[in-house]
Amino acid sequence: MSETPSAYLGHATRTPVIACHECDLLQRESTVPPEGTLRCCRCRATLYRRHANSLDRTLAYALAACVLWIVSNAFPIVGLAVNGDLVETTMFGAVRVLYRDGMWPLSALIFITTMLMPACQALGLVWLLLPLRLGRMPYRADAVFRSLRVAQEWGMTEVLILGLLVALVKLAHIASVVTGPALWSFGVLMLLLAAAASAFDVRDLWSRLQGVPDAGPAFDSDTPFPAETAAACGLCVCHDCGLLTRPAPAQTRDERDYANVHAAVHVPAHPGHCPRCGAHLHLRKPDSLARTWACLIAAIILYIPANILPVMDTSSLFGAQKDTIMSGVVYLWTSGSWPLAVLVFIASIAVPMLKILAIGFLAISANFRSTWQPDQRARIYRIVELVGRWSMLDIYVIAVLTALVQFNALATVRAGPAAIAFGAVVVLTMFAAMSFDPRLIWDARKTE
């Protein structure tokens, strides 16, 4: 796949003007070859990927994903055979068992991330693309598009598959494991959703939607921009659809102060929503650092009970046992499954701690308006966003074990109090990363 840096303050022929969603640099768009990638010339963030026959491919993947979602949730994922008895569970069965045991926060989290969001992702793509394929306009395309972006962030089928594999290894030491058809369909569903997200071309979608406002900046292509960043020119980029437009007068005191200090051109009145997809527009995320710190401090507090309290309670003929996250890693290691032990240790212990440290470092550097290597800090931010969801691995393992190991007097597994605390840590660190505005990393350079 070829990569093309965008032209920065060039004097070439008339081309569209875009702004980077991570560093806010205003730049002219370059021609992207098929299957190529356009990257910001300053922070190297991905601005745009061009795909051949994008929408038709995405629609095919989404339709297949809808069918496999039904199969994945209608049939058993895995079964456990003990003394002639076979206990099987579906994903919804695991959710129901957790709810019955009083773990409704954990039950809701698993339902949302493994069932609701993947369904919304597949159905959202079909809702948008099938009418276009039939020559019609999708109803409320703007609202569906925004919902689709949320579903892509919180759908975690890939983490679920890895969690199922870890659960299978643990179950194999208890009884005979019988894999169900939903295990394989979930694997294919994961691949289809990933392929659909990769092939989906947002710009191609909006270019085919008729009657959508095409607002944008009006700069002469032969002259330099009035300022380096979009915000300094009174413009902001929509983080959902990527449209560069003029925002409304600042809604918060921080935005109002920022606009008064940095605006280089007059900003006309405009509703505080993207004229294309309807998303909220902000020069900078409102109260970004305050919300980041609030989520991060709560995650730090909950990280302690998440690792000290038992994450799983096991009762059997030989007594009761309470396992922490670390003891589960030790069990996998001593049983010979050292690759999975390393994987669980990284996903459940190392990644949450490193996420907390990384987000804290980014927030502190932004608070003190540090100018130290902004490109490296931008890479740290992208890594945090990328690995955030993988900490859910242990939660899915607990859900499967709790649903299957229900042999009354022989053996019973229940989720412990640490499971809720750990799930909250994962969600809070994801919210902290979403609340942080990466453009703050680059803003300090203007005051050097």
Within 10 A of 153 (CB to CB), how many other CB atoms are there? 15
Per DSSP bridges, beta strands 411-415 and 312-316 are antiparallel
Specify whether 313 is located in the same domain as 441: yes
Token output for 369: 């308006």
Specify whether 311 is located in the same domain as 234: no
Kindly tell me the burial class for residue 222, based on how many C-beta atoms sit within 10 Å of its own C-beta (0-12, 13-18, 19 or more): exposed
Token output for 346: 């990284």
Asked whether residue 283 is assigned to any structural domain, the reply reads: no
Asked whether residue 358 is assigned to any structural domain, the reply reads: yes
Asked whether residue 282 is assigned to any structural domain, the reply reads: no
Specify whether 201 is located in the same domain as 81: yes
Asked whether residue 145 is assigned to any structural domain, the reply reads: yes
Asked whether residue 402 is assigned to any structural domain, the reply reads: yes
**Domains of the chain: total:** 3
Specify whether 116 is located in the same domain as 138: yes
Specify whether 438 is located in the same domain as 303: yes
Specify whether 391 is located in the same domain as 424: yes
Asked whether residue 64 is assigned to any structural domain, the reply reads: yes
Asked whether residue 281 is assigned to any structural domain, the reply reads: no
Within 10 A of 415 (CB to CB), how many other CB atoms are there? 24
Sign of CA dihedral 272, 277, 279, 282: negative
Specify whether 187 is located in the same domain as 202: yes
Specify whether 401 is located in the same domain as 421: yes
Asked whether residue 245 is assigned to any structural domain, the reply reads: yes
Token output for 119: 């369904």
**End residue of a domain, out of 159, 188, 208:** 208
**One digit per residue, pLDDT tens: the chain, 448 residues?**
455 555 444 444 456 788 888 898 888 877 778 778 888 888 888 888 888 888 999 999 999 999 999 999 999 998 887 776 777 889 999 999 999 988 999 999 999 999 999 999 999 999 999 999 998 999 999 999 999 999 999 999 999 998 888 888 888 877 788 888 999 999 999 999 999 999 998 888 988 885 544 545 555 556 677 778 888 888 888 888 888 887 655 444 444 444 444 443 333 333 478 888 888 888 888 899 999 999 999 999 999 999 899 988 876 655 567 888 888 888 778 877 788 788 888 888 888 999 999 999 999 999 999 988 999 999 999 999 888 888 898 899 888 888 887 665 556 778 889 999 999 999 999 999 999 999 999 987 754 4
Specify whether 107 is located in the same domain as 254: no
Specify whether 335 is located in the same domain as 389: yes
Alpha-carbon distance of 105 to 138, in angstroms, equals 35
Alpha-carbon distance of 31 to 34, in angstroms, equals 10
Specify whether 62 is located in the same domain as 190: yes
Domain that includes residue 367, residue range: 288-447
Specify whether 153 is located in the same domain as 218: no
Q: Which residue, among 242, 279, 282, has the nearest Cα to 259 in the 3D structure? A: 282
Alpha-carbon distance of 131 to 127, in angstroms, equals 7
**End residue of a domain, out of 275, 299, 329:** 275
**End residue of a domain, out of 234, 249, 275:** 275
DSSP symbols for 220-274: -TTS--SSSBTGGGT-EE-TTT--EEPPPSPSSHHHHHHHHHH--S------SB-
Look up the CATH number of the domain holding residue 311.
Answer: 1.20.140
